[in-house]
Amino acid sequence: MKIRQLACFVAVVDEGSFTRAARAIGIAQPSLSQHIRALEEELHGRLIERLPRGIALTPAGRTLLPEARAAVRAV
């Protein structure tokens, strides 16, 4: 698990969309999606549900979010 992956995860949650999150942290949307996909693969499950209008956290995503925020803040 890399801090960049966690930062991407937090950005998606905060912005409510992959497109807005990518813009907010200054990376291309496909790159952001790859970071999220790699994090989900490492944790063996979905963290974010992609909806027609925005996103929703899965139970695993809700569990990870406080720790991800703390890790990103600590860096």
What does the pLDDT look like over 2-15, one tens digit per residue? Answer: 999 999 999 999 99
The CA R_g of the chain, rounded to the nearest whole Å, is 11
Residue 1 has pLDDT above 90, yes or no: no
User: What is residue 54's predicted lDDT score, i.e. its pLDDT?
Assistant: 87
Q: Cα dihedral angle (43, 45, 51, 55), rounded to 10 degrees? A: -30
**Average of pLDDT values for 40-48?**
97
Read off the pTM.
0.94
Contact between 37 and 47 under an 8 Å Cβ cutoff? The reply is: no
